Each structure stands twice: as structure tokens, then as C-alpha cells.
Structure 1
Amino acid sequence: MTDLPTALPHDLSTGHGERTEIPGNYRRIADQWSAGVMHTSRYPDTVVGDPVDWTLDAHDGSWLFRLHNMEYLFSIYRSLDESGEERYRELAQRLIESWIAAHPEVVHDTPPWMRHTTAMRAQALAFAAGIIPASEAYVAALHQHGAYLADPANYSGAWNHGFDESLALLAVGATVSHQPWIDLAVQRATEAITAMCDLQGATNEQASVYHYYVWKQFGQFEDELDRCGIPHPPVLRRRRAIVDFLVHASRPDGMLLAIGDSLDTRTPPIPGTPLEYVTSRGATGEPPARRIQVFDRGWAFARSGWGTERPFAEESVLALRFGPGRAVHGHSDHTSFHYYTGGREVIGDAGFSGYANPERRAYELGEYGHGQVLVAGAGPYRPLTETRMVRRIETPQWEQFVLADAPYRGVARERTVTFLHDPECVLVHDTIRVGAAGAVVRQLLHAGPSLEVADRTGNESIRLRDGRGELEIRQLLPVGNIDVSRGQRGLTTTGWAGAGLGRTVPSAVLTSRSAPQDGRCDYLTLISPTAEVAVEVAPHEVCLGAHAIPLFTALPEGTHA
């Protein structure tokens, strides 16, 4: 343990660990706990008893995390603050004393003492100072949590869990006025910010919604430093840059693009920033300066506009993944893209449905859950491989991005994605070079959940349809065959997309198979949400309407038309 105080002072500093973001239904949460019932999102109301049965294992690990992290205490604190009713103070005291009595010692690797669980509970316990009596047991529990968090063996490092641990250590250290813990927490958090967030505002979490979570964490760090009278480290300025990422990761319908471990989340309204314009859908504020933005950590965004020449809701956006190998909350999604147009996502991936189902979780994390080209017979897929952006072209009419990597040993993969505005379409050129004999190449495309197959023309064209219109996916080069899976019975993975914790919905997956010729395989795929686009293919370019789109890698002899 690190610098454990020898005395237990009862003169506690108050207000540390404060959470400003409380669930909108906080009064219901508090009142349910008064009745011995735990109410939390995504789970049915659960009778936990009064006194609480802390050994209860009612649902799954995520529910146990919520039971023992005690974040619901903040709903009780808010109810007390707004109503002044002493029953809420008594409820908070009863829950805290009950939990402490049931957990006198740290038992590592059990649900109550997982690192992230302990960190979040420590913040809730720290904020209770001044609300409940500073009993011997309560003060001892604060020191117990501080010692746990200060122990290097219990620090998760530079990502959101580790940052919550630093926030908790800072809150507990400030509450009990233990300077070594305060210093350690500030040091860890400052070093973590450098690793977690680059100068462009892209985090290391690899999931779009977690950028917002990290932005909130950094803000909580700022507030706690202010309460402690500690100057902000210069690296905290990177928090402002996260806003730019959130701007470009937004959809025209007011939601964030759900990439990686991301549930559907509204784009946060942050007044006085470009997000004010985005979240008001152009009603207030100024439009962002750039229509296209590339973040070096592996995100490229391009959109048709910001609602200045047509209604904001009618704009389209393309998001492309590349960069470092999979980490934290990222998926094996390199070279895959999300395409939002016509008020819905038309190309996406398998989504995210939580951590409880191992089979489903493996699929959503893995390569088959994303729109990319895969090779069977060339050894295992390597999710830690870096994907490079080797070319980027911007014109007023179209944008082009070229990515390259080697996700299998002996395989070179290249993808060129072009986003054309008029007529709107996406052109994808995949070139795969394979050394292994007998390898089979698959191009996967995940259609948005609203789309159902309307008709198809052999292995050349598939037309999908929903209430907002049609989407055509055309293979401009011959492929061996195209399989379509959507919501098939007996399958729990392919053909389904995550739609919230524990939920999936039918979603079409198109799999185009080909065999390499002379060690090379090419796909030239046109994705069009508009009327049929006139196409002419040549070795070095593809003419789409009046636009000549260059091909980064020329097509093999005999494959062009």
C-alpha cells in the first residue's frame, strides 16, 4: 500500500467526487431504493431488499457492476438537495453503512472489488462527506478505498477506467486531506491525458461514443482541481480538441455515429462550440469550417455539407476506419466504413449489444462483424496490425481515401473509398494480393437494419429498400457469388446488428466471394442511394456520370470494360 495514513481524522472536506450529470429519472431511482428495489436502465426493476442483500446476483456482470459501484447514490443526493426531505439522507446513510458492514475487507477479483467498480463507488462515498455522519466505519471505508486505489497493482492505466480510478483517488484524498494521494492522482491523470488524447482530440478508446465519455471525465478532473485549488496542467487543453472530433462524428439526425463499443447516443450540445450548430441542426451558431476531417488515430469523416445549401437533416456522412491495431473499446474494423444518407445508416457493421453474450461479443469485436475484405486460407487474422492511409484527395465534387495494410501473413490489402456528391454514391476498390494457394477472398458489406433485399441481378447487383427509398450495391467486376444473410433463424451472429444492451435486430450482410487470379483479387463496388448511376470502367479510372474517378492501383489486364 502507498502512504496509508496512521490516523483517521473525522474533520472531512466536503463536495469532492461530485457528479454533475445525473439520470433524468433520479427521483424515481431514489424512491425505488426506498422501497428496496433497484431501478436501473436496461434491466428490469429488481428487489434487493431493505436491508440490501449484497450477495444478490440477479442478472449478469453488468448489473452487478451497477449494484456495487453505488452511482445511484448521486440520484439520492440530488433528491435530498432538491426536496430537503430527511428520508433521502437516511436512505443514503442506510445504504452506505449496509454496504460497508457487508464488505469489511477487500476481496480482490470479486464483483464488489473490481477496479472500475471500486473507483466509481469511492467517488460516491467521498461525496457523502457532510451528508452522513463521519462515523468510524465510514471514515475507515474512505481510507480503505483510498489505499486500494493508490496501490499500483490496482491502477488500470491510461484509458477511461484508469482515469476514473485517478478521479476517485483525488476525491478520496481531498476528502480525508491526504496529500500523497492527491499528488499521486494528479500525476496519474496528467500522464494519462497525454496518452489518452492527442492534439487533434482523438482518444485511444477507438469507439466514437467514448470520446464523449472522456470529454466528461476531463471536465470532472478540471472541476475537482478547482475545488482543491490546484492549477490545471497544460495538457488539459486537449479537452477542447475533443469537441472537433464529436462535431465530425455526428450524424445529421442528431446522433453520434456508433462505431466500436458505442450505443446510440445523442450528439452532446456544448454551447459556444461548433457542437451548438450541429445539435441545433443549423438553427444557432456557425457551421464548422471543414466538411472533411482526418484524425491520425484512424478516423476519416467526409460529408455532403452542413445544411447551408439544403436542409441539415438531408445531408450525408461517410466515416472510415484505419490507424493503430484494435485496443480498448475498438473493434477489428479497419478499412470498414459507415455511410449515412437519406435519414438512416445504409452501410454500417454488426454494432454493439454489450458484454454479456460471449458468442455475440466475439462476433461484434471480430473481423466478420465489419465491412472489409477477408481471406480464408492465409492464416489467422491479425487485429493488432496497423492500417495506413496512403493517399487522400479532396475536390469540391468528391473525396477519395486510400488505405493499405497486411491483416494476414503474406497478404497485402488495399482499399480505395471515393465519396461522390452528385450523383451521390460511394465507390470502393479493393485490391488483395495473396501468396497462399487455394485462398478464398470475401468482401463483406453490412447494410443498415432498416434495409431489406428488394431484388437482385445474379451476382452483379442487389437492391435493398426501406420506407425512405432504395440502395443499390453493384459489383462492377465479376465475383464468384454473393450470399445475403438477414435475420436468419438459428443464427445469433451474422445477419443481425446490435441495437442496445442485450438486443439485436435483423441486418443484411452481403458476402461476395472470389478466388485470386495470379495471386491477386479485385472488387470494384458501387453503392448508390440515388437513381441508377451511369458507369464506365477503364484500367486507371471509373467514370461516374460526368466525373472521372482515378484508381490508385490500375485494374489487371482483362478485368476492365
Structure 2
Amino acid sequence: MTLNHNSNLFVGFANRLLNNDLVVNEKINIEVYYDIDNINWDINASVSPNTFLLYLHSLRPVLFLTKAYLEKKDINYLNAALKFIFSWREYSVSETNHNRYTWYDHSVAERTENLIFFLEVYQNLENVKERYESILSIIKTNAEWLFDDNNYTRRHNHGIFEDFSLIKSGYFLNDDGYIQKGITRLDEQLKYAFPNKYIHIENSVGYHIGITAYIKEIYKYLKSVSNEYAKTAYDYFSGAVEFLVYVYKPNLALPLLGDTIGSRESGKIEENYLNRQLEYVQSKGLQGEVPENNIKVYSNDGYFIFREYWDSTDFDQSTWMLFKAGYLSSTHKHADDLSFLLYSKGHDIFIDPGMYNYMIGDKIHEYTNSNFAHNTLIVDGKTYSVSKFNSNKVGLYSYNKKNGYHSIVAFNNIFNGVQIDRTVNIIDGDNFIIIDDILSRDYHKYTQVFHLSNDVEIMDLSKDYALLNIKKTKYCVLLEQLNSSDSVAYIEGNKNNEQFSLMSIGLNQVVPTTTIVFNKLDYNTRFVTSIRILEKRNLYKNNVLYSNNKVLINGVSIEISSRERLPENEVVVEIYGNKAKLINKANSDNQKLSYSFYLLNEITGRKYDSRPYSFLNHAEFKLDKNCSYAIMSYLKNTARETVVKLVGFIRYVGEEFLFEKLDKNQQQPIVEEANIISQGNNLFKFEVSISNFNVLTSKWYIYKNGASHQYIGNNSNFLEYQFTEPGIYSVLYRMNDIYFGEVVFDNFEEIRID
């Protein structure tokens, strides 16, 4: 596992372990008393018990103790490590072992590595053969578990951990089968994890860095054993490092995107990433090579990054902006589409909250994952599910360098019946125009969110502007609503139990912040927002002019207009004998459209036949009278903005095939709201309001005190559950439609049972 390489840190952790303080992870900095001769492998410690148990069963303490021995050569460290190892072995085969982390993908992978590392050190001592053989047996058992495909986690960073651990086991145990299987699976994992070469798929800069450093370890290890896959691993590593060149803020702090844990410490890049441009960033321009670009657009991954300049003289004063829309996986994902972050003059201005913890249902966890914690737009005060079904409804649409400014357009069509385009226009490092163009046939409350850094403070606020002071500088930020909003409000910290404004500074640690929200009530509407960074003495100079759908700022003219949205599917089905011709009449004058058609078995939902995306708007299929069909139509543009519809059904009735067309308002599943209903005696009904689902499959996951407690599957939109034990519970649910796949992935708020 990739860890901080500070030897003093490991010695400190090891000394705490020798003094009855159970430390399992450098990010869980609490005192947990334990008895090393009677270790409780089911301990409920910290406010993140799952995370604590994961690293306990990974035998992370064995790693700390072994590294401390290498530093100090004190045999007491290895003796303590032996107690952990044999205590865990005894627990793992006991009847009292009901802990999911005993045999869990991440914990087994890391435990195997830690045991191999321990044995590589321990084997050099005298009179250790019997214990060596016993620990070797444990490694073999864990390696067999990793080899078994039934225990393998595909398309996830935990699977990468399993692969590397299996490869190491293969070399340690001289088993080529382990090595080859590990390499084969690893190759599949990396293709999935970095689909566009540069950015890890799991939506978190923190996880991107962790996986990048881990792939570096894989590369170095494979190179050391002369495995030819080392070159491929290095290619993935170097691509991932390029993203880091641009995503670090000028003060070397990480943007707290997705499940990225915040920190009280100032920015610092400790890892050597073997890249000259990142070395330049790392040294703030004193070494390495100047990065080539001030604008980086990762369209398929959903990231746009602006950097004002790279000069070493005032490196950390440069303006930096990141704009995000789109995702390819729901793992570690927040509802942060159309959000942006802004840093300038040595300070954060608009921020992301980062990750609080992994405790499903915890109020602060729910806040940090919601759209209300991000600089984006909200419809009717609701957040949204980051399900696979929604992933093609958000993304970057286009980037253009225009006369005097850069313009990036992104879209969010997740809110039912609402289409949102956000355009960020960058004139220079001090001037930005953000245009939120919103279309709907219904009346809604639209909210624009600005999550402020604690480096800025509100000086003045109205429904048309906010004046922010950048502390300890001569600058301020003037945010103006050029197209007047209806109302404004601000939220501070957690004073209001219903609305938060917080930022992560560590696992289970937050600090209060301030959030400003501007509101509009309308059908179709538009926010036109200017953000200017000004010296306080020049505050009222160079006003922005807005009229006739045009903004004039510093001599630059920005035209404002609505882009043509993706048209609705208009599918006609023509049947001739045993053949069906599908024609999608949707067309566009300004967008290049692609069409795809699927015939699914109406009963099973499995594919019968299909036509891949092409520019042809029609396709012909041969029908079998022994089968009935669900007709799926797919339409997308070059930005991967997609509309998927269940058009209707073809069935063989009597002597002919007949087509039953669905009304337009029935062609997609709709998820409305989730409610908890108390029915007395600790019996609760968890219900999700849905419509237009076909055959529904639901998975309900019950968590108790943050740990997985029970799984229940059914074919209903509700679950009745009676709690029989005291604790804090939350219920996570996934609902699948037989034709659309996973439509919603979400959870209910916590319930306390006394």
C-alpha cells in the first residue's frame, strides 16, 4: 500500500501500538485503548468504524511495526507484530468470526502484502523457521482467496489492490499462475480505470493520486522482477501524472473533488512522480520544465482547467479555475456537475467541501455529497442520484477560444423536465462571466450556489450582487447578477440543522464555511453572473455592461444565446411481415447526431439484436414470432449528451406482428422522492416514489452504526423493516429497470433506535 514514507511517523505509530494505543491508519488520529494479548477484531472504534476495521484486518499495524524495526532494530516491534498476526489467524478460523473485513477485497490484498513484507524481514533472524512456516501458510491461504474469481472486484480500485497483491504472492511463492492471472486482470482494470488515459475514473483527485502512486509502485516492482508489463504500467502512470500537473492549485493544495479528504496542512507534493513538468509545479518554478498549457480540456472525463500563468516569481498568486461536468462511474462521486472552483491571489475563493466520511446517512456526509455543497445549480431544493442512468445526462459540451476570451459549455439534464446549460467565459485571470441557461415547461425554483472559502468574507450582499473581501490582501471579489435574481440568502456553518455550509479538514473533521445562494422562480430563465477580482481602490471602475443579450467587459463583447438542445426521439416503427424498420425522425441543423437501436426480449430484458451508433437514422430487424420485443432508441450528439427512450413493444398476435407505442411521458423511468414512514414498534416503511418502471429489481442495504448489517432484495419500490437492536441505522437502495439498468442509487437519512 502507498503510504507516507516518513520513518519517524512509522516509529511513532509503532510506539503507540506498544503502549496499548491501537493505531491502524495515519488519517484516523484518535486514541483507541487495546490489549495486545487479547485483540478485539470486532472493535467499534472511531466515528468511522468500517474504515477502522478495514485497516485493522489489513494488518496495517504489522506494517508499522515492521518498518519501525527496520529503523530502530528493536526486536520488540517484531514480537508485537507476531502477536497481531497469530491473533488474527486464530480469530479468522473461529466461530465468532462474523466480520466482513476478515475476508474483504481491500483488506485481504493489503494483508497479504503486509505479511509478505514482514516475512521478508523476519526470515533474516535466527530460530524462526516454525513461525516462518506458519505465516507462510497464512500467506498461501490469502493468495488462494485472491486467485478465486468469486472474490474478485472488477472495475474498482480494490480490484487493482487484489491484482498487485496476487502478483507479489506469485513471485514470493514461485507460482506463475498467480503472476499471469494478476497481470491479465490488472490490464483489464487499468483499461477501465483510465478510459481516456489521463484521469482515474473514480471522481476524486485524492483517489487519483493514491492510484497513481500505487501504479508507480506496480511499475517499479514489475521492473525489478523484469516483467514486461512494467512498460504498460508506466504508460498509465505517466498519463495520470500529466493530469496532476494541471489539477494542483498554485499553492500546491488539492481541489477537494469527490471523496477527497481535506487537511489542515498547507499544500505540499511529497511524492517523486518522475515528471519534469510536475517537478516544476512541485518546486513552484525553481526546477523542472514549464508546463506547456494554460488551458486543459479533458472532455470525455468532464474536466476543464484554467491556469493564468506559470511564472516562478509569484507562482502561488496565479489564478486557477476548475470546471467539472460528467462522470463515467458513480464510485466516490458527488452531485457536483456544473460546479467550479476558483483560486486567485494566493487564496481559495470558491471551494468544494471534500469528503467527511463513508458513513451512509450521516447528515454531514449527505451534505458534502449533495449538490448544495458545490458551486452549481439546484432545482426545487433537491439533489440527484449519481446513478449510471444519469451519467449520460451531464457533461462538457464544447470549448472554444473566441475573440478575447475562452468559453466552455456544459450541460445537466438530470432534473426531470429541466435542461440546464452552464457556460463559463474566461476573459483573463480577474474576469469571468458565467451564464446559466435553463429551459423547462414547468415552474421551478432555481438556485445558484456559491460555496465560499474561509479566506474570503462577505462585505455586502443583495439579490443582485455580493462583495467579498479576500482577507490579508488588497483585493476583493465582486459577484454581480446582471440578470436580476429574485432573492438571496446565506448559510453559515451548521447553525441551521437543515442547511449546512462546511468543508472537510480530515476524516470526520469539518470547519464551518459560508454559502451564498441566489434564487429565481420561473419556467425558462437565465442567470448572467459576472465575477471580477479587483483591487479595493478600483472597485467601482470599469463596470460590466449587459443589454440585448450581450455582455461588454474590458472591451470584450460576449454574445449570449441558447444553444440548440438535443431533440426528442421521434421513432416510427414500420412492420413488413417478419421485418421491422425503425426510423428516428429527430434531426438537428447544428448538431451531428448519432442513432442506435436495440431490440430487447420483453420478458428477460436481454438483447435480441442491436445496431451500434451511426449517422443513419434508421435500422431494419428480422423478427421471430416466438419472441416479443421491447424497442429501445438511443440518440446522442458529439458531446455524448444522450437521450434513451423505451419506444414501445412488438408482439406476435394471431398471425401478425403488432407494435404498441408508448406515450412520450411513459418512455423513461422517473424517480421523484423518498420517504420514511414510522409504523410503530420500530417498524419502518422505506418508500421511493417512482413511475414508468417496467420490471423492477431493488437492492436494500441496511447499515448499523456505519457498518454493513443486512442485505435484502425484492421487486418493490418499498421495504418494510423492523429494527430489533439499538443503534444508528441507514438504508441504501439501488433500483434497476429491466430495460434501463440501474436508474437510482441513493439512501435514506439516518434513524436512531434506542
Do the two structures share a fold, i.e. TM-score over 0.5? Answer: yes
**SS of aligned partner of 2:357:** coil
Asked if 1:478 corresponds to 2:487, the answer is: no
Give 1:66 deviation, angstroms.
Answer: 2.4
Give 1:108 deviation, angstroms.
Answer: 6.8
Cα separation, partners in 2 of 1:201 and 1:378, compared to 1, 3 Å? closer
Contact (CA 8 Å) 1:405, 1:412: kept in 2 or not?
yes
Cα separation, partners in 2 of 1:203 and 1:272, compared to 1, 3 Å? closer
Contact (CA 8 Å) 2:403, 2:556: kept in 1 or not?
no
CA offsets, 1:399-451, max 9 Å, x none? 210112311222111000012226x1221100110122x32211112111332
Distance 1:131 1:275 in 2: 34
Distance 1:379 1:33 in 2: 43
Cα separation, partners in 2 of 1:520 and 1:326, compared to 1, 3 Å? farther
Compute the TM-score of the two structures, normalised by the length of structure 1: 0.88
Instruction: Find the structure with the greater CA-based Rg.
Output: 2
Distance 1:343 1:29 in 2: 34
Specify the alignment match of 1:454 in structure 2: 459
User: Which amino acid in 2 is paired with 1:328?
Assistant: T
Give 1:64 deviation, angstroms.
Answer: 1.9
User: Which amino acid in 2 is paired with 1:435?
Assistant: R
Asked if 1:254 corresponds to 2:252, the answer is: yes
Specify the alignment match of 2:318 in structure 1: 315
Give 1:452 deviation, angstroms.
Answer: 2.6
Specify the alignment match of 1:534 in structure 2: 543
Distance 1:501 1:20 in 2: 16
1:48 counterpart (29, 34, 38): 34
Greater relative contact order (Cα 8 A, min sep 6): structure 1 or 2? 1
Asked if 1:546 corresponds to 2:546, the answer is: no
Asked if 1:365 corresponds to 2:369, the answer is: yes
1:155-174 alignment, distance < 5 Å:
155-174=152-171
Higher alpha-carbon deviation: 479-488 or 525-534 = 525-534
Higher alpha-carbon deviation: 68-77 or 507-516 = 68-77
Q: Which has the higher helix share?
A: 1
Distance 2:164 2:113 in 1: 8
Specify the alignment match of 1:101 in structure 2: 90
2:505 counterpart (499, 506, 510): 499
Distance 2:147 2:283 in 1: 43
Contact (CA 8 Å) 1:378, 1:410: kept in 2 or not?
no
Give 1:522 deviation, angstroms.
Answer: 0.4
Give 1:123 deviation, angstroms.
Answer: 0.9
Cα separation, partners in 2 of 1:231 and 1:382, compared to 1, 3 Å? closer
Distance 1:252 1:188 in 2: 37
Asked if 1:25 corresponds to 2:9, the answer is: yes
User: Which amino acid in 1 is paired with 2:71?
Assistant: E
Give 1:58 deviation, angstroms.
Answer: 2.4
1:125 counterpart (108, 115, 124): 115
1:489 counterpart (488, 495, 502): 495
Specify the alignment match of 1:266 in structure 2: 268
1:182-197 alignment, distance < 5 Å:
182-197=179-194
CA offsets, 1:436-482, max 9 Å, x none? 2x3221111211133232222x3111122233342222111111101
1:73 counterpart (62, 69, 89): 62
Distance 1:63 1:20 in 2: 18
Distance 1:512 1:486 in 2: 15
Cα separation, partners in 2 of 1:119 and 1:492, compared to 1, 3 Å? farther
2:218 counterpart (218, 221, 236): 221
Contact (CA 8 Å) 2:301, 2:328: kept in 1 or not?
no
Percent of aligned positions that are identical = 19
Distance 2:315 2:403 in 1: 18
2:102 counterpart (109, 112, 135): 112
Compute the TM-score of the two structures, normalised by the length of structure 2: 0.66
Distance 1:79 1:396 in 2: 60
1:376-525 alignment, distance < 5 Å:
376=380, 384-386=390-392, 387-394=394-401, 398-421=405-428, 424-436=430-442, 438-456=443-461, 458-465=462-469, 466-468=471-473, 469-491=475-497, 494-516=500-522, 519-525=523-529
2:354 counterpart (348, 351, 354): 351
Give 1:327 deviation, angstroms.
Answer: 1.8
Give 1:199 deviation, angstroms.
Answer: 4.6
Specify the alignment match of 2:674 in structure 1: none
Give 1:304 deviation, angstroms.
Answer: 0.6
Contact (CA 8 Å) 1:373, 1:441: kept in 2 or not?
yes
CA offsets, 1:267-302, max 9 Å, x none? 345354211100111111221011111113111101
**SS of aligned partner of 2:257:** coil
Give RMSD over aligned pairs: 2.7
Distance 2:433 2:8 in 1: 43
Higher alpha-carbon deviation: 138-147 or 425-434 = 138-147
Contact (CA 8 Å) 1:484, 1:509: kept in 2 or not?
yes
Cα separation, partners in 2 of 1:382 and 1:99, compared to 1, 3 Å? closer
Give 1:65 deviation, angstroms.
Answer: 2.0
Q: Which has the higher strand share?
A: 2
CA offsets, 1:476-519, max 9 Å, x none? 11111011111252427522222221122222222211122xx3
Give 1:521 deviation, angstroms.
Answer: 1.1
Give 1:104 deviation, angstroms.
Answer: 2.1
Give 1:524 deviation, angstroms.
Answer: 0.6
1:58 counterpart (37, 40, 45): 45
Structure 2 gap segments, 5+ residues each = 123-127, 564-754
User: Which amino acid in 2 is paired with 1:444?
Assistant: V
Structure 1 gap segments, 5+ residues each = 1-16, 555-561
Higher alpha-carbon deviation: 326-335 or 476-485 = 326-335
Contact (CA 8 Å) 1:18, 1:123: kept in 2 or not?
no
**SS of aligned partner of 2:120:** coil
